[in-house]
Amino acid sequence: QNRLKALGDKSLFSPKHVHVIGGGVMGGDIAAWCAMQGFKVTIQDLSQDALGRVVGRAVKGFKRRYRKDKFRIMNAQDNLIPDLHGHGISKADVIIEAIFENLEAKQTIFKDVEAKAKPDAIIATNTSSITLNEIAEVMKQPERLVGLHFFNPVFKMPLLEIIYTPDKTDPKVIELAQSFGAHIGKLPLPVKSSPGFLINRILMPYILEGVTIHQEGVPAAVVDKVAVDYGMPMGPLELADTVGLDICLHVGKILADKVGVTLPNTLDSEVESGRLGKKSGQGFYNWKADKKVKEK
Ligand code: NAI
């Protein structure tokens, strides 16, 4: 609690409504988490079907978390509102973009968001690897854009990186973003926008080396067991499947380009053949309903 207080002052900001754009692995869980913290959350995705899946997954999470407490389950459920057309953008205090990792697609979103958002709303991206500068190129007020970089799984991971560009991001926006982090019970750590930010700069080489060792012929389960026996909470290949192999490939490419990590070929071929990890049911392991079935 003291650490949270030190990093984000709740009294600076009284957000009530969060709008999340993109209800995939991250956006769905960010929306569900914020709904559980008592916020009204509008969640936007490309189709009613996708939104149905987001709500279904969120409700499962509420039930797991609250067990038999029907009142809290219902409250969280009531807070989560599917919003196909993005009506929530103009009303929200915090807008979080979590669509797939593609610069042009994100820029299109932010042009629209900037035009519609309330003047004092926080405008944030959950990108893992694209710099704020690149995304904000299309914005009239690039100083408004901040990164709210959550970690997967959102329900379990306390850290929230607050990504900013020195001399560009408005310091007030950074402060408000930190305050929001404290409001939702996360540990909001300001981190300069740079390749991989802070955590992925450390974590991605761990994942990529694990994949390389597997590529050299060591079974995934063996690589992971050794890492876990050593004391890591999760092995690198299970972690890669959890994060999503497409996301690992994207972040890995950026780190390979900017800081010289080595990218294993298998990652490319897995993604090309649609094996994206947990979210597609197959990666280095086979997955069923978020449970590891076996090594493929
Ligand atoms: P995902 O592929 O699971 O989900 C993306 C969602 O966005 C899909 O539901 C898709 O239908 C929706 N979408 C696409 N275009 C849209 C649009 N124009 N409007 C509304 N919805 C749209 O992706 P994931 O893994 O959730 O990643 C999302 C973002 O979060 C990426 O920027 C990624 O780098 C970042 N991130 C991912 C982490 C991970 O562990 N997967 C961790 C931290 C950040």
**CA of 234: how far to CAs of 35, 217, 289, in Å?**
28, 20, 18
**CA of 4: how far to CAs of 134, 165, 183, 209, in Å?**
30, 23, 9, 33
Residue 247 CA to ligand 1 center (angstroms) comes to: 9
Domains, in order of start, for the chain? 2-192 (3.40.50.720), 199-290 (1.10.1040.50)
Nearest CA to ligand 1 atom 10: 22
pTM for the full predicted model = 0.92
Is the confidence at residue 124, as pLDDT, over 70? yes
Residue 168 CA to ligand 1 center (angstroms) comes to: 25
How remote is the C-alpha of 121 from its chain's centroid?
20
Tell me the pLDDT band of 272, cut-offs 50, 70 and 90.
very high
Nearest CA to ligand 1 atom 15: 99
User: Annotated active-site positions, please?
Assistant: 149
| Mutate which of 247, 251, 290 for ligand 1 pocket (most atoms within 8 A of beta carbon) | 247
Nearest CA to ligand 1 atom 4: 24
Q: Is the ipTM here above 0.90?
A: yes
Tell me the pLDDT band of 123, cut-offs 50, 70 and 90.
very high
The minimum-distance atom of ligand 1 relative to the CA of 47 is 11
The minimum-distance atom of ligand 1 relative to the CA of 242 is 40
The minimum-distance atom of ligand 1 relative to the CA of 128 is 34
How much is the average pLDDT of 227-232? Answer: 97
| Buried residues in 109-127 as b, exposed as e (16+ CB within 10 A) | bbeebbebbeeebbbbbbb
Within 10 A of 132 (CB to CB), how many other CB atoms are there? 22
- What strand order describes the sheet that includes 17-21? 80-82, 40-44, 17-21, 94-97, 122-125, 145-149, 159-164, 187-192
Q: Which structure tokens are listed for 160?
A: 């929230």
Residue 127 CA to ligand 1 center (angstroms) comes to: 8
Query: What confidence score (pLDDT) does residue 245 get?
Result: 96
Query: What confidence score (pLDDT) does residue 68 get?
Result: 83
Write the pLDDT tens digit of every residue in 233-246: 999 999 999 999 99
What are the DSSP calls for the chain, one per residue?
-HHHHHH--GGG----EEEEE--SHHHHHHHHHHHHTT-EEEEE-SSHHHHHHHHHHHHHHHHHHHTT-HHHHHHHHHHEEE-TT-GGGGT-SEEEE---S-HHHHHHHHHHHHHHS-TT-EEEE--SSS-HHHHHTT-S-GGGEEEEE--SSTTT--EEEEEE-TTTS-HHHHHHHHHHHHHTT-EEEEEE--TTTTHHHHHHHHHHHHHHHHHTT--HHHHHHHHHHHT-SS-HHHHHHHH-HHHHHHHHHHHHHHH-PPPPHHHHHHHHTT--BGGGTBSSEEEETTEEEEE-
Nearest CA to ligand 1 atom 25: 25
Place of tokens 């509102």: 81
Residue 216 CA to ligand 1 center (angstroms) comes to: 31
Write the pLDDT tens digit of every residue in 24-60: 999 999 999 999 999 999 999 999 999 999 999 999 9
Best CA proximity match to 78, nearest among 41, 29, 45: 41
Write the pLDDT tens digit of every residue in 65-114: 999 899 999 999 999 999 999 999 999 999 999 999 999 999 999 999 99
| Mutate which of 30, 51, 128 for ligand 1 pocket (most atoms within 8 A of beta carbon) | 128
CB-defined site of ligand 1, < 6 Å: 21-27, 44-46, 50, 98-101, 105, 109, 126-128, 150-152, 243-244, 247, 279
Write the pLDDT tens digit of every residue in 1-20: 455 555 788 999 999 999 99
Mean pLDDT of the chain: 94
Query: What confidence score (pLDDT) does residue 288 get?
Result: 87
Query: What confidence score (pLDDT) does residue 6 get?
Result: 58
